[in-house]
Structure 1
Amino acid sequence: MPSERLARLRLLLGDDGLAALEGSTVLVLGLGGVGSACAAALARGGVGTLVVLDGDTVDESNINRQTIAFVSTVGRPKAELMREMIADINPDARVVAAKQFLTRGNVSEVLDALPRPDYVIDCIDTVSQKLAVYEWCAERELPLLASMGAANKLDPTKLKFADIRDTSFCPLSQVIRRECRVRGLTGLEVLFTDERPFKVEHTGARTKGETLGSMSYMPPIMGQMLAGLAIRRLTGMEAMPKPPVLRPRMA
């Protein structure tokens, strides 16, 4: 008898849609506020194989926005916690959890060792790592969705999907857009917000923790939106996008 855990999904997706999801592999890179919510939603949505990667551990400052962050999980590896959560949501799911930091130099080595995904969802917040992932996806012709910045943003109704060339009022998107032009990378689909950033008052110090605020709801909503679009595409409800394209560099 089919699991009741998927009964409400079956009403919308049917047996064929659920079968398509069960046979799909999704790679989620980064398990912070966006990535942890995304991976949990994919697990609840019936994705059969989830590959999750994050080299970090839970910090107390993560509790305001990250799905796996609680007082009881501070200090524990995020990848391990995500594996446990997915197993608790859907015991039938296959989970590969990698406790690994990506660098520009190790992206190919690390990601090539993991199961080949049908969809890649980038939830990393470091520019050099993000760009290396985009190039990796382009070289291997893998569909990709990328999350841009949620820091200092307050209004989730401003979130939208777009080509990176069509983004605005997002500092991270601005940097990624410029670097994509330099690298000859096109066809990058992102989730961003065109809300003007909230100005955080700071005196002297300019560390990330002192200048980039985050609301409890913004990163999780972004993660849910990324998961939702991926699920609709994996089930054939919407067309799967073409992978990003990397123009060969001149010798």
Structure 2
Amino acid sequence: MEIKMSDRFIRSRALFGDEAFEKLKNSRVAVFGLGGVGGYALEALARSGIGALDVIDPDDIDESNINRQLLALSSSVGQKKTQTAVKRLKEINPELIVSAHELFYSPESADAIDLKQFDAVADAIDFFPGKLELALRSRDAGVKLVSCMGTGKKTAPSLIRVSDISETSVCPLARKMRAELKKRGVNELTVIWSPEQPAPARDSVQSSDGKKFIPSGAVVPAVAGLYLADAIIKYLLSR
């Protein structure tokens, strides 16, 4: 059956309206981090008709990612997350403009990406110095950033919310981020977060190769990723 590109997003057009949908189609969004949160955010942005997406992640897909990451399958283990993402996105929308950056984002590598080229940025980085640097540079570039806080050790998806970082509580990552941003004169940042108390680990937090990890399931990161995409979409439509 022949699929017309006009049919691919016909329900989205009906939901948002032609003018609003064209805003999404003409937007360029960067997604930093393609793990449990970022993968679902990326998927929702692509399926919502965003016209250009940049994906930034340095990692290969690991077997341990399969429990919670959209890009992780038995067939994709060992592949670069960015390249797997590009293939998937092109299946969703062949007309989508996709740029892949195999980059570990940090204060040292941040110059490699000019944030001014984006209409919005989605942060799903789990490396704190990189997350903080992205917030500072987004502020300096005048680009809208939505940043996801911690989703590990959490089991209550209904508690996920979006707000300014000044309204957060309980979340250790949000607390640390808020303090560091305040030191640098940043008082506003839209974040995805949860007030849920982190659950204690019920078993080993060390993998077979001896590496420690933060326990995490499938649902909370996915919901946080969808909230992240939704916040980006709402911002783009509000401009």
TM-score normalised over the length of structure 1: 0.88
Q: Deviations over 1:35-94 (max 9, x none)?
A: 111111100000000011001010111001111000111110001111111100011110
**DSSP-derived class of the 2:113 partner:** helix
Aligned amino acid, residue 154 of structure 1: T
Give the superposition deviation at 1:205.
6.8
Q: 1:225 aligns with which of 224, 227, 234?
A: 227
Which 5+ residue runs of structure 1 have no aligned equivalent? Answer: 241-251
In structure 2, the CA distance between the partners of 1:196 and 1:20, relative to structure 1 (3 Å rule), is same
1:32 maps onto 2:35 in alignment: yes
Residue 194 of structure 2 corresponds to: 193
Residue 73 of structure 1 corresponds to: 76
Aligned amino acid, residue 144 of structure 1: L
Residue 178 of structure 2 corresponds to: 177
**DSSP-derived class of the 2:30 partner:** strand
Q: Deviations over 1:141-180 (max 9, x none)?
A: 1111000010000001111112212211111111111211
1:1-251 equivalence runs, <5 A: 3-107=6-110, 109-112=111-114, 116-201=117-202, 210=212, 212-236=214-238
Q: Which moved more, 1:159-168 or 1:72-81?
A: 159-168
- Are the counterparts in 1 of residues 121 and 145 from structure 2 also a CA contact under 8 Å? yes
Give the superposition deviation at 1:217.
1.1
Aligned amino acid, residue 222 of structure 1: A
- Paired with 1:211 and 1:205, the residues of 2 have a C-alpha distance of 6
**DSSP-derived class of the 1:194 partner:** coil
Aligned amino acid, residue 50 of structure 2: V
**DSSP-derived class of the 2:9 partner:** helix
Which 5+ residue runs of structure 2 have no aligned equivalent? Answer: none
Give the superposition deviation at 1:95.
0.4
- Are the counterparts in 2 of residues 167 and 174 from structure 1 also a CA contact under 8 Å? yes
Give the superposition deviation at 1:232.
2.3
Aligned amino acid, residue 234 of structure 1: L
Aligned amino acid, residue 18 of structure 2: D
Aligned amino acid, residue 32 of structure 1: G
TM-score normalised over the length of structure 2: 0.92
In structure 2, the CA distance between the partners of 1:203 and 1:229, relative to structure 1 (3 Å rule), is closer
- Are the counterparts in 2 of residues 159 and 193 from structure 1 also a CA contact under 8 Å? yes
Aligned residues between the structures: 235
- Paired with 1:44 and 1:164, the residues of 2 have a C-alpha distance of 28
In structure 2, the CA distance between the partners of 1:82 and 1:115, relative to structure 1 (3 Å rule), is farther
- Are the counterparts in 2 of residues 51 and 115 from structure 1 also a CA contact under 8 Å? no
- Paired with 1:208 and 1:231, the residues of 2 have a C-alpha distance of 40
RMSD, aligned α-carbons: 2.1
Percent identity between the two aligned chains: 35
Q: Which moved more, 1:205-214 or 1:169-178?
A: 205-214
- Are the counterparts in 2 of residues 120 and 144 from structure 1 also a CA contact under 8 Å? yes
Give the superposition deviation at 1:202.
6.3
Give the superposition deviation at 1:204.
9.7
Give the superposition deviation at 1:11.
1.2
